[in-house]
Amino acid sequence: MRKLEALSENALRRARAHLQSPPVGSKAAAARDFGIDLSLLAEQLALDPAARVERMLGMADSAEAMAGRAQKRK
């Protein structure tokens, strides 16, 4: 199994540059044009994989708690 690691400084710099000024016709440009905030993606890429998972689980827990509160109000 492949071990997941944080991006190198060079790879992170290239990814940020790509997301800040996506080339015409790229998938990043299409995502930006669709309304996706690419700065949030760049922020996530700055984290190591374990931190990304922790953040995702925290958001999932928050969403679950909000759904539970909404269900109780019905």
What would the pLDDT profile of 5-62 be if each residue is shown by its tens digit? 888 999 999 999 999 999 999 999 999 999 999 999 999 999 999 999 999 999 999 9
For residue 27, which amino acid is it? K
Q: Are 32 and 22 in contact (CB under 8 A)?
A: yes
Question: The whole model's pTM is what?
Answer: 0.67
Q: Are 15 and 38 in contact (CB under 8 A)?
A: no
6: exposed, middle or buried (C-beta count within 10 Å: 0-12, 13-18, 19+)? middle
